[in-house]
Amino acid sequence: MIASWRWSAEDHRFLGSGRQALAWLIAAILPPGARVLCPACICASVPAGILAARAEVVHYGQDELLHPRWAEIAPAKADALLLVHPLGQRLPAAPVRALKRRRPDLFIIEDLSHTLLNRAPGLGVDFAFASLRKLLPVPDGGVVIDFQGRGLPAAPPPTPEPSPFVRKRLAGDPTAEDDLDAWTGPPEGIWQGTIAALATFEPAALRRARRRRYRQLAALADWPGVSPFWPTLPEGLAPMALPLRCRNRHDTRRLLERAGIAAEPYWPVPDAARAAAGTAGRLLAGTLLLVSCGPDGRIDHGTQPPANLAQGG
Instruction: Note the pLDDT of residue 144.
Output: 95
How many CA within 13 A on the CB side of residue 298?
Answer: 9
**pLDDT band for position 89 (50/70/90)?**
confident
Instruction: Note the pLDDT of residue 235.
Output: 85
**pLDDT band for position 299 (50/70/90)?**
very low
**pLDDT band for position 65 (50/70/90)?**
confident
Instruction: Note the pLDDT of residue 287.
Output: 57
What is the Cα–Cα distance from 144 to 20, expressed in whole angstroms? Answer: 10
Q: Tell me the pLDDT of the chain averaged across its residues.
A: 81
Instruction: Note the pLDDT of residue 147.
Output: 94
Choice among 19-33, 196-210, 243-257 with the minimum mean pLDDT: 243-257
Top pLDDT among 306 and 289 is at 289
Ordered strands of the 11-15 beta sheet: 11-15, 142-146, 127-131, 107-111, 80-84, 35-39, 56-60
Please list the alpha-helical segments (H only) found in 126-184: 164-170, 177-181
Instruction: Note the pLDDT of residue 121.
Output: 72
Instruction: Note the pLDDT of residue 276.
Output: 72
Choice among 197-206, 254-263, 298-307 with the minimum mean pLDDT: 298-307
Instruction: Note the pLDDT of residue 71.
Output: 92
> What percentage of the chain has pLDDT greater than the value 90?
29
Helices 45-52 and 18-29: crossing angle in degrees, nearest 10, is 40
Q: Report residue 95: phi and psi, to 5°.
A: -65, -30
Count H helices and E strands in the chain, helices first: 11, 11
pLDDT tens per residue across span 239-248: 878 888 777 7
Give the pLDDT mean for 90-96. Answer: 93
Instruction: Note the pLDDT of residue 102.
Output: 95
Cα 161 off chain centre by: 25
pLDDT tens per residue across span 263-297: 777 666 666 676 776 666 665 655 556 666 654 44
Amino acid at 243: P
All domains of the chain, ordered by start, with CATH? 11-200 (3.40.640.10), 203-307 (3.90.1150.10)
DSSP 214-266: HHHHHHHT--TTEEESSSSPPTT---SEEEEEESSHHHHHHHHHHTT--EEEP
pLDDT at 305 over 60: no
What is the Cα–Cα distance from 301 to 16, expressed in whole angstroms? Answer: 21
Instruction: Note the pLDDT of residue 291.
Output: 67
Top pLDDT among 57 and 286 is at 57
Helix, coil or strand: residue 306: coil
Helix, coil or strand: residue 66: coil
**pLDDT band for position 303 (50/70/90)?**
very low
Q: How many CB atoms lie within 10 A of CB 7?
A: 17
- pTM, to two decimals: 0.86
pLDDT tens per residue across span 94-145: 999 999 999 999 999 999 998 888 877 778 999 999 998 888 777 788 999 9
How many CA within 13 A on the CB side of residue 260?
Answer: 3
**pLDDT band for position 177 (50/70/90)?**
low
